[in-house]
Structure 1
Amino acid sequence: MTSKRRTFTKEFKLEAASLVLEQSYSVPEAARSLGVGETALRRWVQQLSDERSGTTPKSKALTPEQQKIQELEARVNRLEREKSILKKATALLMSDEMNNIR
């Protein structure tokens, strides 16, 4: 018998972490009332705290601002890769053209 890993939405994680950070619930108390593990809740609280201080998380962001930052960083990376490919293709085409002229 295999147990299925539970998944939680970003909204749920954000609300759960907010209980601890904003409403002064203790981690064990909030974890018990929400039915989640203390370790997971501590991780979400730490991530939300880091995001609010301006640190971009390595995992999926909880706050909308950090989510947008992650999307933009991914787009920049993709565009930089495309630019690099185009530079290489241009150099290759130019070298072929120079060889044909001679």
Structure 2
Amino acid sequence: MKQAKADRGEGPAGALTTGEREELVWLRRKVREQEATIEVLGKATAFFAQDKVR
């Protein structure tokens, strides 16, 4: 019931609509994926930087 009100714009201030909640879940997943990619790239950079020093 509360979610239906939020979807109609009748909920409390700051209440997220279903669409906004879905987008938030998607965005958080995307951030996790990008953080994992950045971590892998950082490790690869460190690996290849060590290889150059030798």
**Considering the TM-score relative to the shorter chain, is it more than 0.5?**
yes
Q: Please tell me the root mean square deviation across aligned C-alpha atoms, in Å.
A: 2.4
Residue 69 of structure 1 aligns with an amino acid whose one-letter code is: L
- Give the helix-richer structure, 1 or 2: 2
Q: Which ranges of structure 2 fall in alignment gaps of 5 or more residues? A: none
- Match 1:64 to one of 19, 22, 27: 19
Q: CA deviation at 1:80?
A: 0.2
Of residues 81, 84, 87, the one that matches 2:39 is 84
Between the aligned partners of 2:52 and 2:38, the Cα distance in structure 1 is: 21
Equivalence map 1:1-102=2 (5 Å): 21=1, 48=3, 53=15, 63-99=18-54
> Which runs of no fewer than 5 residues in structure 1 stay unpaired?
1-20, 22-44, 55-61
The TM-score normalised by the length of structure 1 is 0.39
CA–CA distance in 1 between the matches of 2:28 and 2:48? Answer: 30
Number of aligned pairs? Answer: 46
With normalisation by structure 2, the TM-score equals 0.71
Structure with bigger gyration radius: 1
| Moved segments of 4+, more than 4 Å | 51-54
